[in-house]
C-alpha cells in the first residue's frame, strides 16, 4: 500500500517573543509627506490642490465655494 503523505519543512523551535519583535522593529508604516495649505492652513499632501479650500499655488482650481453659492 502506497501512502500519499506530503512532508514540509518545520521550524525546529518556536520563534521567541523577543526574536519576533526584534525582527519586526524595521516593519512599520511610513507616514506620507504632509504640508500645510498656505491659504487655510489645513494639512494637505504636496503638489495637490487643497481639499478644504480648493486652492493650488494661490489659485482657485477646484471652485469649491463658488459652485455652492450658485
Ligand atoms: Zn486650503
Q: How far is the CA of 30 from the centre of ligand 1 (A)?
A: 24
Query: Is the predicted pLDDT of residue 50 greater than 50, yes or no?
Result: yes
Mean pLDDT of the 53-61 span? 85
pTM of the model: 0.47
Q: What is the pLDDT of residues 19-29, one digit of tens each?
A: 999 999 999 88
Q: d(Cα 40, Cα 53) in Å, to the nearest integer?
A: 7
| pLDDT at 70 (0 to 100) | 47
Q: How far is the CA of 54 from the centre of ligand 1 (A)?
A: 6
- Written in H, E and C, the secondary structure of the chain is CCCCCCCCCCCCCCCCHHHHHHHHHHCCCCCCCCEECCCCCCEECCCCCCCCCCEECCEECCCHHHHHHC
Q: How far is the CA of 47 from the centre of ligand 1 (A)?
A: 13
pLDDT bracket for residue 1 (50, 70, 90): low
Amino acid at each position: 500500500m502506497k501512502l500519499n503523505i506530503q512532508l514540509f519543512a518545520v521550524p525546529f523551535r518556536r520563534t521567541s517573543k523577543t526574536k519576533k519583535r526584534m525582527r519586526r522593529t524595521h516593519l512599520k508604516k511610513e507616514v506620507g509627506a504632509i504640508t500645510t495649505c498656505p491659504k487655510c492652513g489645513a494639512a494637505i499632501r504636496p503638489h495637490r490642490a487643497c481639499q478644504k479650500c480648493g486652492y493650488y499655488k494661490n489659485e482657485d482650481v477646484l471652485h469649491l465655494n463658488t459652485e455652492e453659492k450658485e
